[in-house]
Amino acid sequence: MTETLPASKPLLVDSHCHLDFEDFAGELDAVIARARDAGVTRMVSICARIRNEPRVRALAEAHSGIYYTIGTHPMSAAEDPLTSVEELVRLAQHPKIVGLGETGLDYHYTPDTAEIQKTSLRIHIEAAQLTQLPLVIHARDADADIEAILAEGMKIAPYPCVMHCFSSGARLAEAALEMGFYLSMSGIATFPKSQDLRDIFAAAPLDRILVETDSPYLAPVPFRGRRNEPAHVAHTARVGAQIFGLSEAEFAAATSANFDRLFTRAGGGA
């Protein structure tokens, strides 16, 4: 399937969305078409449960410019069978898999499963070390433990990583950047009360910034409270451009180049 891209809009990447979710059932083609019309050239659909890999793979295989990841979301770590390093490495051989995760720690919704979340995270880190595919990290109310485990892994062997939908504190941002990781900007950065978060992004190097929707969640202003979709990444990018004092085209070009540098498998556009 081949989609045409607009020539007059800044060309963007949605580095994190969930296109396989039921929220998009029955209208996925329209959602993808709206993304193309908004200038979104590539999308990474995140597989948050190993058992869902076949349907996410099928979606990626059916559309040019759509890639996917494989992993176990921390909120599902206690519900699903624990994956293994070997399983992740095997699944990661598919050419459209560009990353591992999302994994991480969530103590906001699932603090009672903290220990199995840590185990799962360490498994994903080892797979990232072996494959050198970027780790996609979810962190909520777990900054200290996330920092400690990620740093522990880096001492053993380096691996690439992005802090997805970054909305944690300045200390975790600094630690992640020191380890060579990327910070991904979601619609949260557009919310009126998110000035502290915008300040954290403003203090980061431009060459470590990505943009995402996390759709169907976290729609940016002016769509806040409604279902999010990849086309809306343009609104987050507009705020990102303002944060860095750039034109929308300059910010889009910079974040797309960052995406290419991190998600090396997605550079071909297939």
User: pTM of this prediction?
Assistant: 0.94
Q: What's the mean per-residue pLDDT of the chain?
A: 95
Check pLDDT > 90 for residue 270.
no
- Mind listing the pLDDT tens digit for each residue in 7-47? 467 899 999 999 999 999 999 999 999 999 999 999 999 99
Specify if 2 maps to a domain: no
Strand partners, 135: 100, 161
pLDDT of residue 55: 94
| DSSP state for residue 142 in the 8-state scheme | -
pLDDT of residue 1: 36
Number of domains in the chain: 1
How many other β-carbons are positioned within 10 Å of the β-carbon of residue 108? Answer: 11
Specify if 1 maps to a domain: no
Question: Residue 67 sits in which domain range?
Answer: 12-268
Specify if 101 maps to a domain: yes
Q: What torsion do the CA atoms of 34, 209, 110, 122 make, to the nearest 10 degrees? A: 120
Specify if 247 maps to a domain: yes
Domain harbouring 248, CATH code: 3.20.20.140
Specify if 6 maps to a domain: no
Long-range contacts of residues 24-29, Cβ cutoff 8 Å, at least 24 apart: 24/216, 24/229, 28/59
Full strand arrangement of the beta sheet holding 182-185:
12-17, 40-45, 66-70, 97-106, 135-140, 161-163, 182-185, 209-211
